[in-house]
Amino acid sequence: MKPFLLLLALSTSILAADKPNIVYFLIDDLGYADCGFNGGQDIRTPNIDQLAKEGAILKSYYVQPVCSPTRSALMTGRYATHTGVYNVVRPGAPWGLPLNERLLPQALKEVGYTTAITGKWHLGEFQADYTPTRRGFDHQYGHYFGALDYYTHDRDGKTDWYRNDKPLVEEGYTTHLVAKEATRLIREQPADKPLFLYVPFNGIHSPHQVPDSYTEPYKHLPKLRQSIAGMLSAVDEAIGQVTAALAEKGLRENTLIIFSSDNGGPGPGSATMNTPLRAGKGTLYEGGIRVCSFATWPGKIPAGITIDEPMHAVDWYPTLVKLTGAPATQALTPDGLDIWPVLTQGAKSPHAALLLPGMAPDKMALRMGNWKLLLNASDKDAEESKGKEATSGKMELYNLADDIGEKQNLATSKPEKLAEMRARLDALLSDAVPPGGVTESPPTKKGKKGKGKKR
C-alpha cells in the first residue's frame, strides 16, 4: 500500500475507534410501568433492568401517540408538524416519510458508520425509494408494518418479511429472529467501523402471541396480561442476547444503548400498565406519549441516576449527529435539541417549550416546565371515547408537578397561564404542514391517507 493510502487507512481506523457504537431498542406498545426499572412488579425484565441500572432512567421522555410518527421523529429529529407523519402509514398507503428528509442513518454513514435496522420500519414502502436500504441503511431485516402474525409473518393475508428490502420466506418467532439477526450483525461488524444498530421490535404489539414457555411463570395473571408478560419476557431475553453479543465482541464499553417504547401502552390496567399516568396509546395524555426509557454508556453516562428533565424522541437526532461528528448542515432544520449535557452533566432540559403533536394537526399538546396544555384532546380517555371527536378548540391545562395523573383541569382557574401557553403553541404551529402533505423531492405520486383500524 502506498504511504499516503496507508496513512489514510490508519486515520480512518482511529476515527472509527473514537466514535461510539449506537444501539437503539424500540419496543412496540410497551406500558410506562411494565418494566421493573420503571415500577413494574408483575413481569420479570432482568436484562432490561440491568441496563437501566447501568445508566440514566429518563422519567420524562416523550414520543408520539402511535407508531409511525415516533419512528419519523427518531429518524429525522423533526416534529410531525414538519414531516406530515401524524398518523400510521398503512400497507399500500401511497405516502410515507418524505424523501426530502435527511435520516439519521444517512447522516451517520457520512462519518463511517455501518447502519442496520432489524425489526419494524413503518415509514413507507409503496415505492422503492421509501424503503430502508434507500433511506440510509446498509442492512435491513424484518417487517414494514405492525400487527403481523409472529409466526407466519403475515399481515392481512400477505407476508410482511424482508431482508435488504427483498421478500423473505422464513420460519420462526419474530422476536427471536430479530435478536438473531442483530447478534449476527454485531459479530460480523468490522473492527475498524462503528455500528448504528436500530432494533425496533414488533413485541409487544398485538396479536398477542408467544411460545407457551414464556407464559408459564405468569399463570396467576389474567389471560391478556399473561400474554403481554410472556411477550415482554421474550423481548427481555432478546435484549440480553444482543447485549451479550456486544460484550463478546468487545464493544460494550464503547456502545451507547438507548431504550424506549414507541408510544404509551394500550389498554392500560388490563393489557399494559401506565401507572401513574392517565390513559394510553393514541392519546395526548401522559399515558399516551410519556414512555419508559433509559440511556446507558459505561463511563460516559453516570450509572444509577434518574433524570426528570423533559425530552423528546426528536432530540436524539441532533444529539447523535453532534456526538458522532456527522455533518450538521442540512436543508431541513431539526426541531430536536442536543440533550447530551442533560444525560452527562446534570443540565436542565434545553427546551423552554416542548411541542407534543397529536394524530392530527388540530390535536396538540405543549409542555412548558411543569405545565402542560392540551388542545382538542379526547373528551374522555381514548379507551372510553370510542372515536368521538372532542369539541373544537377545547383546552385543558395541568400542573404535572402536582398532578401527574392529569385529574384536575386548571384551564378555567389559571387563565393567564392558559393564554401564555396557547400563544406559544400557536406560534409553534404557524408553519405546520398537513398530514402526508409536504412537498417531496424527488417527485412522487400524491396520495390520500391510508385507511384501516390497525395501528
Count of H-run helices and E-run strands, the chain:
13, 19
The model's confidence at residue 452, banded by pLDDT at 50, 70 and 90, is very low
- What angle, 0 to 180 degrees and rounded to 10, lies between the N-to-C axes of helices 223-248 and 174-187? 10
- Angle at the Cα of 131 (from 126 to 134), degrees rounded to 5? 130
Q: Which structural domain, as residue segments, surrounds residue 393?
A: 354-428
Exposed, middle or buried: residue 28 (CB in 10 Å: 0-12, 13-18, 19+)?
A: buried
- Residue 441 clears pLDDT 50, i.e. is over it: no
- Inter-CA distances, 204 with 201, 327, 431, Å: 8, 35, 35
Q: Residues 375-388: pLDDT tens digits?
A: 999 755 544 444 44
Please identify which residue in the block is written with the cell numbers 401506565. 274
Please identify which residue in the block is written with the cell numbers 405516502. 95
The pTM assigned to this predicted structure is 0.92
Q: In the prediction, which pLDDT does 436 show?
A: 87
**Residue 67: active-site member:** yes
Q: Is residue 445 part of a domain?
A: no
Quick one: 106 and 162 in the same domain? yes
Kindly state the average pLDDT of the residues 188-198: 97
The model's confidence at residue 351, banded by pLDDT at 50, 70 and 90, is very high
Structurally, how many domains does the chain consist of?
2
Of 46-50, 155-159, 386-390, where does mean pLDDT reach its minimum?
Answer: 386-390
In this structure, are residues 330 and 102 in contact, taking their beta carbons and an 8 Å threshold? Answer: yes
Annotated active-site residue in 67, 139, 292, 351: 67
Quick one: 322 and 364 in the same domain? no
Q: Is residue 12 part of a domain?
A: no
Q: In the prediction, which pLDDT does 18 show?
A: 84
Average pLDDT, the chain: 91
Grid coordinates standing for 12? 480512518
Q: Is residue 45 part of a domain?
A: yes
Identify any residues that bridge with 71 across adjacent strands, giving them in sequence order.
Answer: none
Kindly state the average pLDDT of the residues 31-42: 98
Q: Residues 379-434: pLDDT tens digits?
A: 555 444 444 444 578 999 999 999 999 999 999 999 999 999 999 999 999 999 99
Quick one: 387 and 266 in the same domain? no
Quick one: 422 and 341 in the same domain? no
Kindly state the average pLDDT of the residues 346-358: 98
Among the candidates 345, 368, 384, a domain finishes at 345
Q: In the prediction, which pLDDT does 358 show?
A: 97
Quick one: 272 and 380 in the same domain? no
Cis peptide bond upstream of 57, omega within 30: no
Q: Is residue 451 part of a domain?
A: no
Q: Is residue 63 part of a domain?
A: yes
Annotated active-site residue in 122, 143, 153, 351: 122
Quick one: 299 and 368 in the same domain? no
Q: Is residue 133 part of a domain?
A: yes
Among the candidates 291, 321, 345, a domain finishes at 345
Please identify which residue in the block is written with the cell numbers 437526532. 317
CA dist 57 and 292 (Å) reads 8
Report the b/e string of 287-308 with b at 16+ CB within 10 A: bbbbbbbbbbbeebbbeeeebe
Grid coordinates standing for 97? 416519510
CA dist 150 and 269 (Å) reads 24
Taken in order 113, 114, 117, 118, is the CA torsion positive or negative? negative
Q: Is residue 441 part of a domain?
A: no
Beta-carbon contacts of residue 61 (< 8 Å; ≥ 6 apart): 260, 290, 291, 292, 293, 311, 312, 313
Amino acid in the structure at residue 324: T
Report the b/e string of 89-114 with b at 16+ CB within 10 A: bbbebebbbbbebbbbbbbbbeebbb
Among the candidates 345, 367, 384, a domain finishes at 345
Give the up-direction half-sphere exposure of residue 287: CA atoms within 13 A in the CB hemisphere. 25
Contacts of the segment 226-232: beta carbons below 8 A, 24+ positions apart: 228/34, 228/43, 228/204, 228/271, 228/272, 229/42, 229/43, 231/175, 231/203, 231/204, 232/27, 232/30, 232/34, 232/35, 232/43, 232/45, 232/203, 232/204
- What are residue 352's phi and psi, to 5 degrees? -75, -30
Report the CATH number that the domain containing residue 421 is assigned in CATH: 3.30.1120.10
Run of H or E including 186: helix 174-187
Quick one: 144 and 287 in the same domain? yes
Q: Is residue 97 part of a domain?
A: yes
Quick one: 105 and 156 in the same domain? yes
Quick one: 316 and 397 in the same domain? no
**Residue 312: active-site member:** no
Q: In the prediction, which pLDDT does 391 show?
A: 52
Quick one: 376 and 253 in the same domain? no
Quick one: 395 and 327 in the same domain? no
Quick one: 292 and 221 in the same domain? yes
Pairing mode, strands 114-120 and 139-143: parallel
Grid coordinates standing for 286? 401522559
Nearest partner of 179 among 233, 228, 225, judged by Cα: 233
Report the CATH number that the domain containing residue 127 is assigned in CATH: 3.40.720.10
